[in-house]
Structure 1
């Protein structure tokens, strides 16, 4: 059922818009509460009347939307996330989250107005469009970065693995040299040598 909105209805549309809704929603909520009027072909005269009546409100709301668009156009929102292998996120960044982030910056933009050109599922930069009102759009960027604490943890683990690998390679070299010279006296076990060399490298 088509109705013309007499006021902006969250998750549905802006004032003056003609939208399709279920008959029950229109008759039991929107129309009785004065939020909309019927906009089918049998009600053309009333639709035109309300379009003229709401023109001033539409213009005011559009002006406000244009102002909001100007504040977020070209904006860059930085999100810090813990990530898995290859920089993949545990889940994805949603339009709901972006709406909340914009709200923290003082920009009231509903999630239904946000359009992701590509799903945000990994670290990187992403373009987002905001269709705030009829004919009013803006574009901004979302940059997802790894949590610095996690980055430091990963760096430490990589250094430890590199040290262990170096210790293993050095031990193998020493064993090969000992075998070639036939000197096996006083030799520690392989495990003891590995631990000793790893500790030496980590302390250096």
Structure 2
């Protein structure tokens, strides 16, 4: 089924693109969330007419995300966790923990944008990528300390 995207969708396309997707994906996900319209002649023409507003909205979002990238790049976040012998953590540090640490610093990011290859399970310093928008990515430093230390 061909659809016209109303929003940028990761791994699918950008707003205004006409894409071929499975019927169930369109019917159950894209249409109810108003992320796409069926690619009829009328809908394609409507999107072409609205393309200026889509471009302006995209440019504004690019600017805000670029400003957020500048704020995040080089930022250091410290997280304290319970540890056992050898600096091994009880449990692990994941995207939710990093999200909470950023929120404490009054920095809002989407939890899904925090990209970890695997959860952090040892004390130390780690570089974490935050995918903000399209190709805009910020890198922060996460330092994991032991709660047992004074």
Which TM-score band (shorter chain)?
0.7 to 0.9
RMSD between aligned residues: 3.5
The answer to whether the Cα contact below 8 Å between 2:127 and 2:140 also exists between their aligned partners in 1 is yes
Residues 5 and 73 of structure 1: CA distance in aligned 2, closer, same or farther (over 3 Å): farther
If you compute each CA radius of gyration, which structure gives the higher value, 1 or 2? 1
Residues 5 and 132 of structure 1: CA distance in aligned 2, closer, same or farther (over 3 Å): farther
2:15 matched to which residue of 1? Answer: 16
- The structure with higher relative contact order (CA 8 Å, sep 6+) is 2
2:72 matched to which residue of 1? Answer: 72
Cα distance, 1:4 vs structure 2: 5.0
Runs of 4+ in 1 over 4 A off after TM superposition: 1-5, 11-15, 17-22, 50-53
Task: Give unpaired runs (5+ residues) of structure 2.
Answer: none
1:180-195 map, 5 Å: none
The answer to whether the Cα contact below 8 Å between 1:117 and 1:128 also exists between their aligned partners in 2 is no
TM-score, normalised by the number of residues in structure 2:
0.75
1:35-184 map, 5 Å: 35-38=35-38, 46=44, 49=48, 52-116=52-116, 119-147=119-147, 150-151=148-149
The answer to whether the Cα contact below 8 Å between 2:78 and 2:101 also exists between their aligned partners in 1 is no
Rounded Cα–Cα distance in structure 2 between residues aligned with 1:80 and 1:61: 34
Rounded Cα–Cα distance in structure 2 between residues aligned with 1:96 and 1:3: 33
Deviations 1:89-137 (A, max 9, x none): 1121111221222122222211221222564111100001111011211
Which has the larger share of strand? 2
The answer to whether the Cα contact below 8 Å between 2:76 and 2:143 also exists between their aligned partners in 1 is yes
Rounded Cα–Cα distance in structure 1 between residues aligned with 2:100 and 2:54: 30
